[in-house]
């Protein structure tokens, strides 16, 4: 059976905050018996580097050490690793470009990076931009997270249910022999009946793909309801959908999705449809 993702791309600067993403990317490659492609993005400012070449040399030396460390990790795990260093003024743009060139089906990336002026953000600015512009699904991984072992939970939007996100969640649950929960959040009593109808349809679709499926409708704020459900069901992978192209995604990532990604205790898989991801 074909694994849920056949082409993986790890995006990492090999810092302390990348540890969870790196561990999970290697674990996925081992579990699915796949090679792993990785991109190490470096900020590049030719004018500044011409004035201060010693800084550029130090950055390149750090990148070389990161490459060597990742290659050693790959050898230890028996993973074939293809790693590229990409330089540019926007780190997210280099990651997205690499994903397009590699025809990646999943980008694995950290949740937050170095602390600084934007440290209060739920997710890093670079990560937010990657999720907004990615041509494929993105797995956002907290620093201490590891491969899921207990269950998969998918959030179902009653106003725009995403069959692709459901299929991806069901495939992952089936591949790992884990239970799958569907949670549909109704914001207000008037929306509850419609949410029940949507959930019933999505449950039928899910059960055609995977045997151990349950579902429920919850009320309240969407991000909190999903996070609470994941905690109560001990799910250690949460799947949500990214709707629309890049312009829609930029607004969407700033609201409910950002809160789900930023506050969840487990990795969050943001499903991106091929049509949405193909747009610039």
Whether 120 and 213 map to the same domain: the answer is no
Residues 191 and 107 in one domain: no
Q: State whether 264 and 175 are in the same domain.
A: yes
pLDDT of 98: 98
Contact in structure between 224 and 187 (CB atoms under 8 Å): no
Residues 174 and 231 in one domain: yes
User: What is the C-alpha radius of gyration for the chain, rounded to an integer number of angstroms?
Assistant: 19
Helix (H) or strand (E) holding 222: helix 222-232
Residue 211 falls within a domain, yes or no?
yes
Residues 29 and 102 in one domain: yes
Q: Are 153 and 230 in contact (CB under 8 A)?
A: yes
* Residue 146 domain-assigned (yes or no): no
pLDDT tens over the chain, length 280 residues: 567 899 999 999 999 999 999 999 999 999 999 999 999 999 887 776 777 788 778 888 999 999 999 999 999 999 999 999 999 999 999 999 999 999 999 999 999 865 443 434 567 788 989 998 999 999 999 998 889 999 999 999 998 899 999 999 999 999 999 999 999 998 877 788 899 999 999 999 999 999 899 999 999 889 999 999 999 999 999 999 886 554 444 444 446 778 898 889 899 999 998 655 444 3
97, 204: one domain? no
In a domain, 42, yes or no: yes
Closest to 32 (Cα-Cα) out of 171, 237, 212, 236: 171
Structural domain contains residue 76: yes
Residue range(s) defining the domain that contains residue 162: 152-277
Q: Which two tokens stand for residue 128?
A: 């937010």
Q: What pLDDT shows up at residue 274? A: 66
- Residue 189 in domain: yes
CATH code (residue 231): 3.40.50.620
Report CA-CA distances (Å) from 243 to 10, 44, 80, 126, 153: 23, 32, 33, 19, 18
Query: What is the structure's pLDDT at 121?
Result: 58
- Indicate whether 110 and 166 sit together in one domain: no
**Can you tell me the distance from the alpha carbon of 193 to that of 96, in angstroms, rounded to the nearest whole number?**
40
Do 94 and 52 have their domain in common?
A: yes
For 126-135, the pLDDT digits (tens) are 898 999 899 9
- Residue matched to tokens 């939970």: 153
Residues 170 and 130 in one domain: no
Q: Is residue 2 part of a domain?
A: no
Domain assignment present for 174: yes
Whether 101 and 180 map to the same domain: the answer is no
**Same domain assignment for residues 88 and 157:** no
Q: Name the domain count of the chain.
A: 2
Query: Could you tell me if 266 and 235 lie in one domain?
Result: yes
| Rounded Cα distance, 130 and 115, in Å | 19
């Amino acid at each position: 059976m074909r694994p849920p993702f056949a082409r993986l791309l790890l995006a990492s600067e090999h810092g302390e905050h990348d540890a969870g993403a790196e561990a999970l990317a290697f674990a996925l490659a081992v579990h699915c018996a796949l090679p792993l492609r990785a991109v190490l993005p470096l900020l590049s400012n030719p004018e500044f580097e011409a004035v201060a070449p010693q800084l550029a040399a130090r950055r390149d030396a750090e990148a070389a050490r990161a490459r060597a460390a990742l290659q050693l990790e790959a050898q230890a795990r028996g993973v074939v690793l293809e790693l590229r260093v990409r330089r540019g003024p926007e780190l997210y743009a280099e990651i997205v470009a690499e994903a397009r060139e590699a025809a990646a089906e999943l980008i694995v990336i950290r949740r937050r990076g170095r602390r600084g002026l934007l440290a209060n953000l739920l997710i890093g600015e670079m990560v937010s931009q990657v999720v907004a512009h990615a041509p494929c699904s993105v797995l956002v991984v907290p620093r201490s997270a590891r491969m899921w072992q207990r269950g998969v939970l998918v959030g179902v939007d009653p106003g725009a249910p995403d069959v692709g996100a459901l299929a991806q969640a069901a495939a992952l649950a089936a591949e790992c022999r884990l239970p799958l929960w569907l949670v549909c959040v109704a914001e207000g009593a008037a929306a509850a009946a419609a949410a029940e109808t949507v959930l019933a349809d999505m449950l039928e679709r899910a059960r055609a793909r995977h045997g151990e499926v349950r579902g429920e409708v919850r009320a309240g704020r969407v991000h909190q309801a999903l996070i609470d459900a994941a905690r109560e069901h001990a799910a250690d992978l949460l799947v949500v959908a990214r709707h629309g192209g890049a312009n829609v995604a930029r607004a969407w990532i700033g609201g409910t999705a950002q809160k789900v990604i930023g506050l969840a205790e487990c990795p969050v898989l943001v499903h991106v449809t091929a049509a949405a991801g193909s747009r610039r």
